[in-house]
Copies of this chain bind each other. A is one copy, B any other.
Amino acid sequence: MNKISIISIGNELLNGECTDTNRAWLGKELSCAGFCVVSGFTVSDEIDKISDAIEKAALDANVIIVTGGLGPTDDDLTRDAIANYLGVDLEYRSDLYAQIEDYFAKRRYKMIEKNKVQAYIPCAAEPLANPVGTAPGFVATKDNVLIAAMPGVPSEMKEMFTNKLLPILINRSRGDVFASKRVKCYGIGESNLNDKLGDLLRRGQNPLVNCTVNDSIITLHVIAHAENRKVAHKMVAKKIAEIEAIIGEFVFGFDDDTLVSVLARELAERGKTVTTAESCTGGLIAKMLTDVPGASEYFNCGFVTYSNNAKESLLGVDCGLISQKGAVSSEVAQAMATGALQKSDSDIAIAVTGIAGPTGGTAEKPVGLVYISVATKSKTIVKEFNFVHNRSTFRSRAALKALDMAKKVFSATV
């Protein structure tokens, strides 16, 4: 079995200018793919410190993943440190140079001489292409230890890990293949889910069910090991059926599904459109709905009506209603939804009004109070919630709840 050590390079990780989110992301991806992360190092931009960490990591890991230090500047020393460890020179690769040149050309930027250094990788290393940045990664092997270098920029690292490095790691783990699938749940808390699933979550089983929570979405990672892929897939499917029999009502999708992507798919399939009328979420729901490629199929327009004035002029909310009930009220939320439905000529409208804080709360209407309304041509619903979190978490929770409500209303609409 592959034992993995992760080395994060960068002064900014030691002095706290940056939080090392790569470590947790990689840890989760590797664990869910059935690998074991045995150690982690955080190292400054100094060649001897990087070399030293690699030597230490190699003592109990047979895969070493290094992130960071592949940029074009003088403090980017990962290439050199790994070449040292391997006992080889750096080699200029004209194919990598062409990729970097191409990256700049496509963006109509002038390539700077400095970037040429990124076309050097250790002799005998295999490059890992970086389609979203200039720094290629690479993998090499010494004494049966595989060492991989990836950029520290999270978006570049994630792309490279998923599409290039992970397949290599899976190939390397022989005989015992595995299959995995993620079950995405919303609307249930972690302890409640734990209670309901009980024995299904017990450690040491095959298939194994791991549970992670991110921003109120619970992901169940179902991982099966077997002698071949077909058997492993069957084991996963059987376990998922058991899970759905218990908590099916909270399951909204699988693998990369999000609440938005599922709603988007349903809207597009039925040729329907959605609109948004956002106060406290300030455009976040529209942004999430248009994060999905092909959003123009189901999204024509959205309204960000932050002020009372905007609620009146853009959505036709009665100013008397606002002064009587308050902008954060069940009545105004409904009026926003029906107004947006009409003004946009969409099939379903999502409206949100609430108090994101940190200021603006009162005893009667505290920070965290939010009204969410969903309107279709035939009905309008509204619900009150209290999301007592910081501003950013409040907005994200309100947006997710609004999307979930829209999905449920839409699914129920024939």
Query: Which A residues form the contact surface with B (CB < 8 A)?
Result: 6, 8, 10-21, 23-31, 37-45, 49, 56, 71-75, 106-109, 112-115, 132, 153, 155, 159, 180, 182, 189-192, 194-195, 201-203, 210-214, 219, 221, 223, 276, 278, 281-287, 289-291, 293-296, 299-307, 309-310, 313-314, 344, 356-359, 368, 386-393, 395
Contact = CB atoms under 8 A, between A and B. Distances in A.
Given A41-B42, A132-B389, A203-B74, A194 B114 contact: yes
Contacts of A392: 155, 291
A214 B276 CA distance: 30
Specify how many copies of this chain sit in the oligomer. Answer: 2
Given A37-B14, A42-B40, A112-B189, A300 B306 contact: yes
Nearest to A360: B296
Contacts of A286: 282-283, 286-287, 304
At the interface, is chain A mostly helix, strand, loop or mixed? mixed
B39 A39 contact: no
A290 B283 contact: yes
Contact of A190 (B37, B72, B285, B293): B72
A17 B194 CA distance: 16
A33 to B, nearest CB: 11
A43 B39 contact: yes
Contacts of A304: 276, 283, 286, 290, 301-304
B27 A221 contact: no
A400 to B, nearest CB: 14
Given A15-B180, A301-B310, 18 more contacts: A12-B210, A13-B23, A15-B37, A38-B44, A39-B44, A73-B190, A74-B202, A74-B203, A75-B201, A106-B368, A276-B304, A287-B287, A290-B306, A291-B391, A296-B307, A299-B307, A303-B304, A310-B344
A295 B291 contact: no
Contacts of A314: 301, 314
A29 B14 CA distance: 11
A17 B191 contact: no
Contacts of A190: 71-73
A304 to B, nearest CB: 4
B38 A41 contact: no
Given A282-B287, A283-B290, A299-B306, A39 B17 contact: no
A14 B40 contact: yes
A14 B38 contact: yes
Given A39-B44, A212-B12, A201 B74 contact: yes
B73 A191 contact: yes
Contacts of A285: 283
B303 A307 contact: no
B42 A14 contact: no
A313 B41 CA distance: 56
A373 to B, nearest CB: 18
A283 B302 contact: yes
A13 B31 contact: no
Nearest to A32: B16
A303 B344 CA distance: 12
Nearest to A112: B191
Contact of A214 (B18, B358, B390): B18
Contacts of A278: 283
Contacts of A75: 201, 203, 210-211
A23 B20 contact: yes
B192 A112 contact: yes
Given A114-B191, A114-B194, A306-B300, A15 B31 contact: yes
Contacts of A39: 14, 41-44, 49
Contact of A28 (B17, B74, B276, B309): B17
Contacts of A203: 74-75
